[in-house]
Amino acid sequence: MNKTIEIQDLGLKDYKDTWDYQEQLFKGIVDAKIKNRRDNTQFKTNNYFLFVEHPHVYTLGKSGDMSNLLVDEIQLKAKNATFYKVNRGGDITYHGPGQIVGYPILDLDNFFTDIHKYLRFLEEMIILTLAEYGLKAERSEGETGVWLDVGTPFARKICAMGVRASRWVTMHGFALNVNANLGYFDLMIPCGIRGKAVTSLNVELGVAKVDETEVKEKLLKHFSALFEAEFFNAKL
């Protein structure tokens, strides 16, 4: 079992280019697992954790409803935004500047083979990180991601999640609103859930800008503890 994870901070990077890169890393791990099984070998498989910030983009998951995107191609172009159908779970999601996106590409055979537990750990990482900023974040039953003021008329989502897994190898991940332009969420029905607001960490703290490097460091600290993992190349 290999519990070391390579951290890569890709900076601002096009969604499709990042997706292709994810697929490349994902395929490398899957191919190594297939080779181990075929040749009866036990070579270690790699694990990665990508941080990235995307230009304005909307993505629709495999089970998503196209009607949850409320604008057409011309309106998207006017907003300097793009759109992709993707191979993750979940419905429609927005990514853009001021949002910390994390893509753990892990061989869960190195940790635990339980997708439900994996998702709960990702949520817990966010919840613990936000607690360090004095916010009480929670899960919302039947709804993925991390929320504030669950069970009240003021419930609002601060982190979206959607993952894919095959042969216990994961890709895609989470999107935490830190300094996000919330106006872009008005162009869709977030995650296909009507009547629920979206928020960002800087809005909740009442500040103009939150230090995103500090947030990433806190995320990695909690991820490491939850997954009992070690990081390398962790330069943010």
Taking the CA atoms of 201, 205, 211 and 215 in sequence, report the sign of the dihedral they define.
Answer: negative
| pLDDT, position 191 | 57
Task: Go through 175-190 and write b for each residue having 16 or more CB atoms within 10 A of its CB, e for each that does not.
Answer: bbbbbbebebbebbbb
Is the CATH number 3.30.930.10 carried by domain 53-100+112-227? yes
Please, are residues 204 and 122 in contact by the beta-carbon 8 Å criterion? no
- 176-190 residue pLDDT tens: 999 999 999 989 886
Per-residue pLDDT band at 234 (split at 50, 70, 90): low
Q: What are phi and psi of 99, to 5 degrees?
A: -120, 130
Element (H, E) at 233: none
Percent of the chain with pLDDT over 70: 96
| pLDDT, position 126 | 98
92 is in an annotated binding site: yes
Q: Which residue has the higher pLDDT, 60 or 28?
A: 28
Is residue 191 annotated as a catalytic residue, yes or no?
Answer: yes
| pLDDT, position 35 | 97
Over residues 47-66, the mean pLDDT reads 93
Per-residue pLDDT band at 87 (split at 50, 70, 90): confident
pTM here is 0.94
Per-residue pLDDT band at 89 (split at 50, 70, 90): confident
94 is in an annotated binding site: yes
Neighbours of 106 (CB within 10 A): 26
Over residues 3-29, the mean pLDDT reads 97
For residue 214, pLDDT beyond 90: yes
Over residues 36-53, the mean pLDDT reads 97
151 is in an annotated binding site: no
For residue 195, pLDDT beyond 80: no
| pLDDT, position 104 | 98
Per-residue pLDDT band at 73 (split at 50, 70, 90): confident
| pLDDT, position 62 | 85
**Region for 192 from its dihedrals, namely left if φ exceeds 0, alpha if ψ lies in -120 to 50, beta otherwise:** left
89 is in an annotated binding site: yes
| List 130, 191, 210, 220, catalytic entry | 191
